[in-house]
Structure 1
Amino acid sequence: MGAQISGRIFNGVSVEIEDNPYFASLGHCGAVIISDEYLLTAAHCVDNGSENPVVYVGGNTQANSQVVYYDKVILHPNYIYLIDIPLNDIAIVHLQKPLQFSEKIQPLKLPTRKASKNSPFVLTGRGMDETGNLTEILKRMYVMKLSNEECVSVLPYYIYGDSGGPLVQEGVIYGLASFGGNDCRTSTVGFYTNVLQYVSWIRYITGL
């Protein structure tokens, strides 16, 4: 799934967690809440394990977020790197204790059909900002989907820290930020794991 970027998160708009209560952070990557026990993120964010299995939820910043812990990561069985590009870049994260839902902590729905071609997606995250540092505050931007033909005519983008972040349309999680280019100033297109293709696997693992 390719997406034309209209400003990038580093030029995005600061938002309140109440407007994006599904967002979770692994510190170095984003994630999305899909139930009180499970998150989704990009597989390349968690493929090396972690000595500090922490998740931050319910806050605009990491400092004011609730800290929870995870005890298991399930990588997609077909996750691989091919010429430095992650394929089947999706993982399920199981939390040690169930979340307590509130106005700041809510799950997103899994997709049951293709996304609308006429509605923009919303990308949220705490990726790199214009100073070259990871932003401390949650930001949002709007993203439009491109066809495969349009994608091959432009350069990809990727900004450290946005990986695994949710791409949302009308309350449904359709994508997870996966890969792209290296320069925020010149890169304009991002590539996302298409969650719809993995719904059966997600439901099999999680029981949702």
Structure 2
Amino acid sequence: MNFYLTLLLAAVSALDSSAASPLTRFSPKVIGGSSAKRHEFPYMVSIQPLESNDHRCGGSIISSKWILTAAHCCDGNDWCIRANIVAGLLNKNETTHPDVQKVSAKRVVIHPDYILDLYDIDNDIALIELTTPLQFTDAVKPIALPLVNQTFTSGLLTGWGIYRRPNYFPVTLQRLEMKIVTNEECEKALKRFEHFHLYPLLDTMVCSMPLNKGLQAACNGDSGGPIADEGVIIGVTSWGVACITPKFNAPTIFTEVSKYIDFIKDHVNDLP
């Protein structure tokens, strides 16, 4: 999968006018995943510049008019307000497929306490309001929000991010099952990568690890996309280390959606 994993690129992407990319510390594509099936993830969207069909970040449909994504995807140069939100997409080359709906952004709401710099990332979550509502079909449906502080043990990560280094992006949406671990377990795993400049792990974040020890994680291009369980969103892909190192068993870190229900409901009035 390709999310922009803010690994060590988080800071870089914040300064890069082309698009946000915390998944380089934030490195977002699904590495070690498999191709999704049509209609398997109807809540998944690709966020693309108006002037091209290039995938930049992922996002999740939470209502007919609102998309949930990572703040670092829309930070810096307001490119999200000039983006197309492409729903119902499986193969990136099939933008004219009957399933596909392409809608432009009307407004971007970045969390008011969002922080991204060389040393910290926090509240990496944003909402994109659409100019016209999506029409729900078998290929386009909203994902459910979790309960406040709801916890999970596993989830499915999806994205069009890099699946093989250095820069191999998939054509077809990728999926990867991951286990959700405690922040204490995640801290221990991250110690193997202390020679990189890592962000602090906060209680507003949730961490995933490979089900089987190996190189399985989000990477560049996966940023903003979801990890979900049984149709409920767990987190928004934020940052990680797998895209900058060949080491196995690297954590991927997400913004924990259950901690942001009030923020979402303050802006979205048409939740299913």
TM-score over 0.5 for the alignment? yes
Q: Does 1:49 align with 2:78?
A: yes
Distance in 1 between the 2:230 and 2:156 partners?
Answer: 9
Match of 1:23 in 2: 44
Is the contact made by 2:72 and 2:116 (CA closer than 8 Å) also made in structure 1? no
* Deviation for aligned residue 1:82: 4.7
Structure 1: distance between partners of 2:129 and 2:187: 36
Task: Give, in whole Å, the separation in 2 of the partners of 1:85 and 1:134.
Answer: 28
Secondary structure of 1:124 counterpart: strand
Shift of the 168–19 alpha-carbon distance from structure 1 to 2, 3 Å rule, reads same
Q: Which residue of 2 aligns with 1:5?
A: none
Give 1:139 shift: 0.6
Which amino acid counterpart does residue 171 of structure 1 have in structure 2? G
Query: Does the Cα contact within 8 Å between 1:127 and 1:160 map onto a contact in 2?
Result: yes
SS of equivalent to 1:152: helix
Q: Identity of counterpart residues, as a percentage?
A: 33
Match of 1:77 in 2: 112
Match of 2:156 in 1: 122
Aligned to 1:63: 93
Aligned partners of 1:104, 1:84: CA distance in 2, in Å? 40
Distance 1:173 1:71 in 2: 23
What does residue 268 of structure 2 align with?
A: 206
1: CA distance, partners of 2:244 / 2:138: 35
**Is 1:86–1:179's contact at 8 Å kept on the other side of the alignment?**
no
> In angstroms, what is the RMSD of aligned CA positions?
1.9
Tell me by how many angstroms 1:158 deviates: 5.3
Deviation of residue 87 (structure 1)?
Answer: 0.6
The whole-number CA distance in structure 2 between the counterparts of 1:68 and 1:84 is 35
Q: What is the number of equivalent residue pairs in this alignment?
A: 199
Residue type at the aligned position of 1:172: V
Instruction: Report deviation, 1:24.
Output: 0.4
Give the strand-richer structure, 1 or 2: 1
How high is the TM-score relative to the length of structure 2? 0.69
1:131-173: per-residue Cα shift (whole Å, max 9, x none)? 5222111010011111121111123775110101101011111
- SS in structure 1 of the partner of residue 223 of structure 2: coil
Aligned-pair distance for 1:16? 1.8
- Gap runs ≥5 in structure 2: 1-28, 48-54, 194-216
Structure 1 unaligned residues grouped into runs of 5+: 1-7
